[in-house]
Amino acid sequence: MNAKLSAGLLVTALLVTGCGGSGGGSDSAAPKVGLITKTETNPFFVKMKEGAQKAAQAGGMELMSAAGKFDGDNAAQITAIENMVAAGVKGILITPSDTKAIVPAIKKARDAGVLVIALDTPTEPQEATDALFATDNLKAGELIGQYAKAAMAGKPAKIATLDLAPGITVGKLRHDGFLKGFGIQEGDPSVVCSQDTRGDQAKGQTAMENCLQKAPDINLVYTINEPAALGAYTALKAKGREKEVLIVSVDGGCTGVKAVQSGQIAATSQQYPLKMAEDGVKAVASYAKGGQKPSGYTDTGVTLITDKAADGVEAEDTAFGLANCWG
């Protein structure tokens, strides 16, 4: 999540999924589809890759996959697009690390006749890709904002927002959704501290420590994802305040759902990366076979997960969350 990498540091793997099921060789006639994620280590993207592999195998396609070394590695994603276009892919699925800086590379791919679908994170502008398959991140934030408002039961809120990073669409949408769901606007005095975490647990802990120094009476924490939430919980526990502060988050990974089950996180909005990738590969397969292009935005779903239901907020419990989680 920091410096640019040279093209040589690009983590690229060619995953072969032939029709014959042996997996040992490639059918040269099989259409190729590319998947480019932000990293290969994040469980969210591991599950996304699993979904792409499954769908590619079922559709008789050959899957190429690539990822950067860190979230924000735009240079690696550009190189991956160029490599995949050169390899003759029919379509590319991408979770853009830099939603604006990646657009020129996507345009070149589309100009070359390659279908480009954004997964999870829209580009800026969204129309830079042919289609978007993603969670409604504004709704995901809104759900936990509504939950937090109900759970606070009229108690005055002292809110810390542990966000992603400037300029990343998914982070802004979740943040804005939380504010909307809670019924406040940007700049509201109830938000006493805001820090960026890049979705990292250690950075989430540091951010929470900084916020507690600034405003020791914080009683509600919104986090961009569950690693940041667990970092915040660690910082609160060190101060003996973990039972006094409500933490809400977004993602729905298995670790996060278990943290809801144990009471470390009050609620989270669950999204479905496997479905994003499966639907994306199927769309590329249809395009490769018949020329039909997907367009616009396809909502792949979001569900509030909590074991402490709040009045007026629709939710599922952690049993549902664990049955549908990833990671």
Cis peptide before 125 (omega within 30 of 0): yes
Q: N- to C-terminal Cα distance for the chain?
A: 20
**pLDDT at res. 11:** 38
For residue 137, which of 163, 101, 159 has the smallest C-alpha distance? 163
**pLDDT at res. 229:** 98
Query: Phi first, then psi: what are they for 175, rounded to 5°?
Result: -60, -50
Q: How many CB atoms lie within 10 A of CB 30?
A: 18
For residue 121, which of 239, 238, 281, 271 has the smallest C-alpha distance? 271
Q: What span, in angstroms and rounded, lies between the C-alpha atoms of 258 and 307?
A: 11
**pTM score, whole prediction:** 0.83
Each residue of 105-123: b (16+ CB within 10 Å) or e? bbeebbeeebbbbbbbbbb
Angle at 92 between CA 86 and CA 95, to 5 degrees: 125
CB 304 within 8 A of CB 318: no
321 Cβ contact list (under 8 Å, min separation 6)? 252, 257, 260, 261, 268, 270, 303, 305
**Segment holding 281, helix H or strand E:** helix 273-290
CB 90 within 8 A of CB 107: no
Residue 210, Cβ density class (10 Å: 0-12 exposed, 13-18 middle, ≥19 buried): middle
pLDDT in tens, 260-276: 999 999 999 999 999 99
What Rg value do the Cα atoms of the chain yield, rounded?
A: 20
Q: What span, in angstroms and rounded, lies between the C-alpha atoms of 252 and 270?
A: 4
**pLDDT at res. 291:** 80
Which regions of the chain are under pLDDT 50? 1-27
pLDDT in tens, 11-44: 333 333 332 232 334 445 899 999 999 999 888 9
Residue 12, both tokens: 């690229």
For residue 15, which of 291, 281, 275 has the smallest C-alpha distance? 281
